[in-house]
Chains A and B, each alone.
Chain A
Amino acid sequence: MSKASDFPPPFDAAEFVAEPTDPADERIEVGVLIVGAGPAGLACAIRLGQLLEENPDVAERLGEVPVALLEKGKQPGSHLLSGAVVNPRALQRLFGSRLRLQDLPSYGEVPGEAVYVLTKRAALRIPPPPPMRNHGNWIFSLSQLGRFLAEQAEEGGTMILPETAAQKLLVSHGRVVGVRTGDKGRGRDGQELGNFEAGSDLVAKVTVLAEGTQGHLTGVALDRFDLRGDEPQVWELGVKEVWKVAKPLEHIVHTMGWPLRLGAKYREFGGSFIYPMGDDMVTIGLVVGLDYRDSELSVHDLLQELKTHPKIAEILEGGERVQWGAKTIPSGGFHSLPRKLHAPGLLLCGDGAGMVNIPRLKGVHYAIESGRLAAEAAFRALQRGETPATALSSYDDAVRESFIWDDLREVRNMRQVFGRGFFVGGALASAMTVSKGRIELGKLRAEPDAEQPLLTTGRAASYPAPDGKLTFDKLSSVFASGNKTRDDQPSHIRIERQVPADVARMWASLCPAQVYEVGADDGDGTVTVEVAPSNCVQCGAITAKGGRLTPPEGGSGPEYTVT
């Protein structure tokens, strides 16, 4: 049985750490630099806008651009994807009396919920296990919310720079002083094309990394500043679709069980969510822990299989798919958090730092709260008489005193039962009931996802052949993500190209965007892995399972609008 971790990618974090190299007068100087226009980064920008408005003296000293926010997608929202059922408390704390929840672009409060355990043909309804109760939470499209928050941030004075990738962390004298943005206009072999534009050094007094799951510079910073926590981080992969539907869905739905297999050796843990988005749209997604072992497991195809279940097909009957997307979710929880969330000149927020409550499948409100707290710490660091080091470490203190820490610490004890997804606790509990106790609790996962030994079970035979109406192939799904990545650019994916067939097959099945294909046999027990990087929707799964995603040219990737 091969392990992907035996074939590590050609990647060295040190390649992405550098001193500023642009001549001093060409460097772009800003006050606070935020990387990532997701809920964490935007909350940070919005809060900074509020603080700078209240303190014009500080604002003045920050120069022409007090707050800059880099986004690698075409625009804020293009790379945002979640369920999402959001706990509103962080939004309320962020906006205070300035905005009410009703002013935000949401699909309203959760109208009710149902949880099912599925078998191939039946659906057994069970009462929602405690962590899964969503009363009082609101349904959002994270992509839409991102666009809205971006407008708020800009109105507050933040300069948002879309289509801009943060390629390298600028470190000088042991301190983070900013980032270097990625080049544009390079060809497939790295050559400079006619319209080549080199990246720039963007220097700032404080840099906030809010890059989301598998954040590129976050990963680099965790290594460079030795910030990793006790346990390695692990991930789940979510693949979802948004559908126009003929009849409204009355409540939010979560399912577990089929098409995932219960046997402990498979380690297939996860479940699905189906949320109404108003009366005429629905979002359906499947989330699976990446510590699975079957080399043919494809979350995308399992989602297609799930839709053929009579209970689910009924919801989508007469409807039309309008969007598709995929993204990983950090699921290590409390024990996988970095041991510190700051370093000289640097703050870490949100999913990038692993702030996700898997038993409740919630992370958006932690991202927002951490962004808000980061803004306050950054602001403190900018004030006269403050030692930046003390100010930034106050961020760690603030996060530890917040509900982020309380919640994540609380559910760390549920790891035994709920450890691999909020579905698992209920799944195991219900599966135990349904199977009369034949299910055993798997070992606690402590290994990185890429270290799972691979099995082959012929699972792919059960995936439905795409019919183009209810079920879809990967390529047309990539099209439905709005992805139009420019092909003639260097590959942004670091991966070992000569690997055993089962590792190659695992990668090919893993990737929802069909970036990897099993190529020719090299005759020595390995095959060549073919890579089509322009399909990539930057979900991050490959990094969890033995490769390494880095940011492509700014503006590449999906163009999500309602995910």
Chain B
Amino acid sequence: MKIAVCVKHVPEGTSRIDPGTKRLDRAGEGALNHFDANAVEAALQIKGDSDTEVVAVSLGPQKALDSLRKALAMGADRAVLVSDDAAAGSDLVATSRLLAAALAKEEPDLVLFGQQASDADGAVLWAAVAERLGRPVVSQAMELSVDGGSVHVKRQTEHGYDTLEAPLPAVVAVSDAINEPRYPSLKGIMGAKKKPQDVLSLGELGVDPAEAGDAGSRTTVLALGDPPARADAKKIEDDGNAAQAIVDFLAEKRLI
């Protein structure tokens, strides 16, 4: 069986938005999005000791290889990076298109995503990718198992828990409650560099640059601004009636 895990290299440390490009300043150091580590861990747990292949896939600049290597150090077998200047600034429409192209090449039985990205640009990618691949998708998985050509998922929604089943090949997004990602062992870290790491340009992927980056995107960032001030912030001193004042405040806001 082959499992592909989509991972993202995200900025670390105190993030800032570059006032020039109005996008997240990705110039600093980055790291494997910690939600994607849950997805890598889920893949590795399914793999266990079998010869299931786990492939880590990412779209990003060259330094995204650092995060892919972290996935390899945890135990993934192979890494694929789609990296091309023309792909910079891709929004959901463009990113899902590129990822789907890379995944289609791999023909995995199962595609895993983490539930969101810790940078500004995360979340909701899996459903778009599943649509492009023409595959069933299940999100928010907190338990996951594979047997006999199907994937079984227990997921959490606002209303409670659902138990679902989908035939492979399928796409699943895991929640961070599903597992505690393993620390790579030293041997794992040292062995990671020797595992295959392919870097593909758009041309090698067979995607027209017009379908990537700003050209391939359908949304745009216009400006940066301040958040609206917290309206009517109040500060009072307790004169014996604070409890009632709080209740009145909450009632006015229709919170109770």
Q: Give the B-binding residues of A (Cβ under 8 A).
A: 28, 65, 68, 74-75, 147, 159, 161, 164, 181, 184-185, 193-195, 197, 200, 202, 480, 482, 559, 561
Q: Given the interface contacts A181-B186, A482-B13, A559-B12, does A159 sit within 8 Å of B181 by beta carbon?
A: no
Contacts of A195 in B (CB 8 A): 180-183
Q: Which residues from chain A contact B186 at a C-beta distance below 8 Å?
A: 28, 161, 164, 181, 200, 202
**Distance from A35 Cβ to chain B, minimum over Cβ atoms (Å):** 14
* A197 adjacent to B193 (CB under 8 Å): no
A200, B190: Cα distance in complex, Å: 12
Of the candidates B28, B179, B183, B187, the one whose C-beta lies within 8 Å of that of A561 is: B28
Interface contact B187-A159, CB-CB below 8 Å: no
Kindly list chain A residues whose C-beta atoms are within 8 Å of the C-beta of B193: 159
Q: Are B28 and A161 in contact (CB under 8 A)?
A: no
- Once the chains are docked, how many angstroms separate the CA of A68 from the CA of B182? 23
Binary flags per residue of B14-58, CB closer than 8 Å to A gives 1, else 0: 100000000000001101000000000000000000000000000
Asked if B145 CB lies within 8 Å of chain A CBs, one says no
B189 within 8 A of A: yes
> Beyond A482-B14, A559-B12, A559-B13, is A197–B190 a contact (Cβ under 8 Å)?
no
Residues of the B chain whose Cβ atoms lie less than 8 Å from the Cβ of A200: 185-187
A453 CB, nearest partner CB in chain B, Å: 41
Additional A-B contacts beyond A480-B14, A559-B12, A559-B13 (19; CB < 8 A): A28-B190, A65-B190, A159-B193, A161-B190, A181-B186, A184-B183, A193-B180, A194-B180, A195-B180, A195-B181, A195-B183, A197-B185, A200-B185, A200-B187, A202-B186, A482-B13, A482-B14, A561-B13, A561-B28
A364 to chain B, nearest CB (A): 22
Q: Within B98-147, which residues are at the interface with A (CB < 8 Å)?
A: none
Per DSSP, are chain B's interface residues mostly helix, strand or loop, or mixed?
loop
Q: Which chain A residues border B185 with CB–CB below 8 Å?
A: 197, 200
B13 — which chain A residues lie within 8 A by C-beta?
482, 559, 561
1/0 per residue B162-186: CB within 8 Å of A? Answer: 0000000000000000011111111
In Å, the complex CA distance between A65 and B182 comes to: 24
User: Smallest Cβ distance from A125 to chain B, in angstroms?
Assistant: 36
Could you tell me if A159 and B180 are in contact, using CB atoms closer than 8 angstroms? no
Inter-subunit contact A197/B12 (CB<8 Å):
no
CB neighbours of B180 from chain A (8 A): 193-195
**Chain A, residue nearest B187 (CB):** A28
CA–CA, A194 to B181, complex, Å? 9
Q: List 28 A-B contacts (CB under 8 A).
A: A28-B186, A28-B187, A68-B190, A74-B31, A75-B29, A159-B190, A159-B193, A161-B186, A161-B189, A161-B190, A164-B186, A181-B186, A184-B183, A193-B180, A194-B179, A195-B181, A195-B182, A197-B184, A197-B185, A200-B185, A200-B186, A200-B187, A480-B14, A482-B13, A482-B14, A559-B13, A561-B28, A561-B29
Give the complex CA separation of A480 and B31 in angstroms. 19
Look across to chain B and name the residue whose beta carbon is closest to the beta carbon of A196: B183
Q: Distance (Å) between the CB of A4 and the closest chain B CB?
A: 34
Q: How far is the CA of A536 from the CA of B59 in the complex (A)?
A: 36
Residues of A within 8 A of B183 (CB): 184-185, 195, 197
B12: chain A residues at CB < 8 Å are 74, 559
Instruction: A184 to B28: give the CA distance in the assembly, Å.
Output: 26
Binding site for A on B (CB under 8 A): 12-14, 28-29, 31, 179-187, 189-190, 193
* Docked pose: A167 CA to B193 CA in angstroms: 25
Contacts of B179 in A (CB 8 A): 194
9 tightest A-B contacts by CB?
A: A197-B183, A184-B183, A194-B180, A195-B180, A200-B186, A195-B182, A482-B13, A559-B13, A185-B183
Contacts of A193 in B (CB 8 A): 180
Q: Which chain A positions have C-beta within 8 A of B184?
A: 197
A68 to B193, CA, bound (A): 13
CB pair A197–B28 under 8 Å, yes or no, is no
CA distance A195 to B193 in the complex (A): 23
Which residues of A lie under 8 Å from residue B14 when comparing CB positions? Answer: 480, 482
Q: How far is the CA of A2 from the CA of B189 in the complex (A)?
A: 48
C-alpha spacing A480/B184, complex, angstroms: 28
Q: Which chain B residue lies CB-closest to A70?
A: B186
How far is B29's CA from A164's CA once the two chains are assembled, in angstroms?
18
Cα–Cα distance between A74 and B70 once the two chains are bound (Å):
13
Chain A proximity of B36: nearest CB distance (Å): 16
Residue among B28, B179, B186, B190 having the largest count of chain A Cβ atoms under 10 Å: B186
CA separation between A200 and B189, bound complex, in Å?
Answer: 12
Q: How far is the CB of A146 from chain B (nearest CB, A)?
A: 12
Give CA–CA (A480, B14) in the complex, Å.
8
Report Cα–Cα, A75/B181, bound state, in Å.
20
> What separation, in Å, do the CA atoms of A194 and B189 have in the docked complex?
20
- Please, how many angstroms separate the alpha-carbon atoms of A147 and B193 in the complex? 19
In the complex, how many angstroms separate the beta carbon of A194 from the nearest chain B beta carbon? 4
- Measured in the bound complex, the distance between the Cα atoms of B183 and A464 in whole Å is 43
For the complex, give the distance between the alpha carbons of A197 and B12 in Å.
24
Q: How far is the CA of A161 from the CA of B189 in the complex (A)?
A: 8
Q: How far is the CB of A444 from chain B (nearest CB, A)?
A: 43
Collect the chain B residues with CB atoms within 8 Å of residue A184's CB: 183
Chain A residue numbers with a CB within 8 Å of B189 are: 161, 164
CA A184 – CA B13 in complex, angstroms?
21
CA distance A202 to B190 in the complex (A): 12
What is the minimal beta-carbon distance from B239 to any residue of chain A, in angstroms? 26
Closest chain-B Cβ to A221's Cβ sits at a distance in Å of: 21
User: When chains A and B are docked, how far (Å) is the Cα of A559 from the Cα of B13?
Assistant: 7
Whole-angstrom distance between the Cβ of A272 and the nearest chain B Cβ: 25
Chain B residues positioned under 8 Å from A75 (CB to CB): 29
How far apart are the CA atoms of A88 and B187 in the complex, in Å?
A: 37
Interface centre among B13, B14, B183, B185 (most CB of A within 10 A): B183
Complex CA–CA separation, A75 to B185 (angstroms): 16
Task: Give the CA-CA distance A185 to B180 in the complex, in Å.
Answer: 10
B27 smallest CB distance to A (angstroms): 11
Closest to B12 in A: A559
Bound CA span A304–B31, Å: 33
Which residues of the partner chain B approach A202 to less than 8 Å between Cβ atoms? 186
Whole-angstrom distance between the Cβ of A277 and the nearest chain B Cβ: 16
How distant is the Cα of A482 from the Cα of B184 in the complex, in angstroms? Answer: 23
* Complex-state Cα separation, A195 to B179, whole angstroms: 9
With A and B bound together, what is the CA distance between A482 and B11 in angstroms? Answer: 13
In the complex, what's the smallest C-beta–C-beta distance from B179 to chain A, in angstroms?
8
Q: How far is the CA of A352 from the CA of B12 in the complex (A)?
A: 29
Docked complex Cα distance between A307 and B193 (Å)? 47
Output the least CB separation between B132 and chain A (Å): 33
Contacts of A480 in B (CB 8 A): 14
CB contacts (< 8 Å) of A161 on chain B: these are: 186, 189-190
Smallest CB-CB separation from A322: which chain B residue? B14
How far is B193's CA from A191's CA once the two chains are assembled, in angstroms?
32
Given contacts A75-B29, A482-B13, is CB(A197)–CB(B182) below 8 Å? yes
Task: A161 to B180: give the CA distance in the assembly, Å.
Answer: 22
- Please give, as numbers and ranges, the residues of chain A lying within 8 Å of B31 by CB-CB distance: 74
> Which chain A residues border B181 with CB–CB below 8 Å?
195
Please, how many angstroms separate the alpha-carbon atoms of A194 and B183 in the complex?
A: 10
Task: Please report the C-alpha to C-alpha distance between residue A75 and residue B67 in the assembled complex, in whole angstroms.
Answer: 13
Write the chain A residue with the least CB distance to B184.
Answer: A197
- Give the Cβ gap from A24 to chain B, nearest Cβ, in Å: 14
Nearest residue, chain B, Cβ from A184: B183
B182 proximity list for chain A (CB < 8 A): 195, 197
A438 to chain B, nearest CB (A): 47
